[in-house]
Structure 1
């Protein structure tokens, strides 16, 4: 199988497999173009490239920028359900087939040809109740009960939580499939479902919404987000930043840009993130924004700050910019010594916990920010944290969750 990788109606290159080795070669025309899709991990050069040294769960022997398009846990579960319907086991699906199955539905602007299977382009109205029931079947390992529409709108989504790519009409409160063209009056959103498994208890969407409100008040750039109610649950919905006026914008995570495996905590630091502001000439306001995000994560106890939770955008001219913030929420476990969120995933001045103001400013030294501006951002974040109960009330967070978060915010005071 030869897989063609495309972006913005241009062919980036081609992939094939020889035995256990995946091979990639840039297209000759793309080599002469203005887009540098992987400037640090795979700069444009002729010849065949292989990645046998990156056969881990994160990169899977693929070029980093291509591996970034693959879904994570939940999306893989949905993809497996799709193949199970045609008699294929999860172990039998090759990486190239998984990419081919994504076709034109990947997050960002990458497209893969040939497409493994055709999907309908209808825009039937979807009911949240039906989607949640189908997700429960997928989680329970019952692929035959997973609806085809869920497969088409969930198999491309990243992250561990159950989610779907939708088109949403806010005025009439109507949801349709969002993986292709959507009708007039609809916009592209991503919905995260709440409380569908024991590992994802009810109330996480409310917490994420409160954190969204706090981030906005601190001046962090995020796309519009809100809660949708279905039966007894509320689900977090956020506007996609890789779809604007029907056009695709490419997005690439920090994980892909610098080749830092998000499954390996504390192998990178915030300085790695900040350095890209200089390398991409992103400007002083963007540097302040990056610092603001680090401060927020520390003071508001978000330790799920791994390399897939920071992204950049690439436009059709090859210009790089900072993507809006996303997946900002309470993520802190101080009881389990092996917990993913016991310490920050990205190191801060060589530390993952007990962060001080001095650590924050030292980590940001490459940004060359003014001391007064850094001090102001830290104070503003502290004010937001001290006012958490107000945000908890707006987001209707349960008393149990609210009290636990308040306790954690006290523990991480700087």
Structure 2
């Protein structure tokens, strides 16, 4: 792996089977600039309509967020686990990670990031990947977390696929399909994979659109939770944009409300059905105590015609947000959202109360079967009871 700082990065877009030039990113005087390729403007594909609209001439990034990088490109950068791995690799090479600009990091992402954007010139990772089973890789992730053992950095970095999120994960090919497999962080309960799989089953029963998922077997425990990547399909790749990138809001700060999420959904998709899906997801997050509902956990997918829809729901699991509250408040309430808050959110979506109550009841019905899903997934009795108590507390405030 050879690093050298750059001031120009070319951005391309995989559109069906074609590779289109989107434009150029430039770094000068600690500011980041972007200019669309005139030919791409003719496609009328709005990759980031709010913060990087499709128009000629140079646009300047906002230095107050994402180190000046435009949100649509910041979405490509790994954070959490992937960011940590790259920084450790740089330190191993004697390079100060602080010397890298966002453009340098995009070069490492290259063609491996989520979505349909690729960045050139790409920094190729020359690590040779040996065949390893998931238990071996899980052991490497734990040793790296506990002992800061750099012996496994190359292997873990090469398998990471520029994915985001705090938990260790790898990208693997299963029957010519790309899957994302998660491993336990040291702060996670030992049955975290089973819990997340149970939540996946519960969300599906509640009517949420979710990606295909399963528990990959382990010789040592309950298995590893994996999901099929929804940004990849047989003919190519799909453009993904998070609420964080769309609105230039940091997912590290609890400064988002579901009202903003709903209004963004309506404005971007112009489809009441997508607003209903977003409302159902909000209800599920509230009733199931999924409070890690930050700005990077809401995404939209753009098809080849430029039409936006909600992405499948992801990162659904029992979680407590900042100070035990939702990362995204529900009509201003983060600690104890009640039925009234959800009904006010439905009004924002111009949804009739009858329809909102129907969705709430459907989600309540699914969440009431938590113990069934937990048993199917292999959740421990201690975790099952702890989560059930939290669900019961929330349910008392949701009597319709």
Whether 2:103 is the aligned partner of 1:96: answer yes
User: Among residues 167, 176, 181, which one is paired with 2:173 in the alignment?
Assistant: 167
Greater displacement, 276-285 / 370-379: 276-285
> Which runs of 5 or more structure 1 residues have no equivalent in the other structure?
169-184, 333-338
Using the size of structure 2 for normalisation, the TM-score is: 0.90
Secondary structure of the equivalent of 1:5?
A: strand
> Which runs of 5 or more structure 2 residues have no equivalent in the other structure?
1-5
CA contact (8 A) 1:228 1:237 kept: yes
- The 2-side partners of 1:292 and 1:223 are apart by 16
Instruction: State how 1:152-191 maps to structure 2 within 5 Å.
Output: 152-168=158-174, 185-191=175-181
- The 2-side partners of 1:95 and 1:379 are apart by 45
CA deviations 1:164-215 (Å, max 9, x no partner) are 11112xxxxxxxxxxxxxxxx3211100112x52x22311111111111110
CA contact (8 A) 1:76 1:155 kept: no
Greater displacement, 14-23 / 247-256: 14-23
Partner of 1:173: none
CA contact (8 A) 2:346 2:353 kept: no
Partner of 2:244: 255
User: Among residues 250, 253, 260, which one is paired with 1:264 in the alignment?
Assistant: 253
1:92 CA displacement = 2.9
CA deviations 1:331-384 (Å, max 9, x no partner) are 13xxxxxx6261112221221132222211111213222322211111122222
Instruction: State how 1:301-312 maps to structure 2 within 5 Å.
Output: 301-312=289-300
Using the size of structure 1 for normalisation, the TM-score is: 0.87
1:325 CA displacement = 0.4
- The 2-side partners of 1:378 and 1:364 are apart by 11
1:148 CA displacement = 3.4
User: Among residues 52, 68, 80, which one is paired with 1:73 in the alignment?
Assistant: 80
- The 2-side partners of 1:203 and 1:70 are apart by 29
Instruction: State how 1:205-220 maps to structure 2 within 5 Å.
Output: 205-220=193-208
CA gap of 1:92–1:277, structure 2 versus 1, over 3 A, is closer
- The 1-side partners of 2:131 and 2:57 are apart by 47
User: Among residues 132, 135, 144, which one is paired with 1:138 in the alignment?
Assistant: 144
CA contact (8 A) 1:103 1:111 kept: yes
- The 1-side partners of 2:290 and 2:47 are apart by 30
Q: Number of residue pairs matched?
A: 385
Greater displacement, 19-28 / 34-43: 19-28
Secondary structure of the equivalent of 2:249?
A: coil
CA contact (8 A) 1:79 1:155 kept: no
Whether 2:50 is the aligned partner of 1:35: answer no
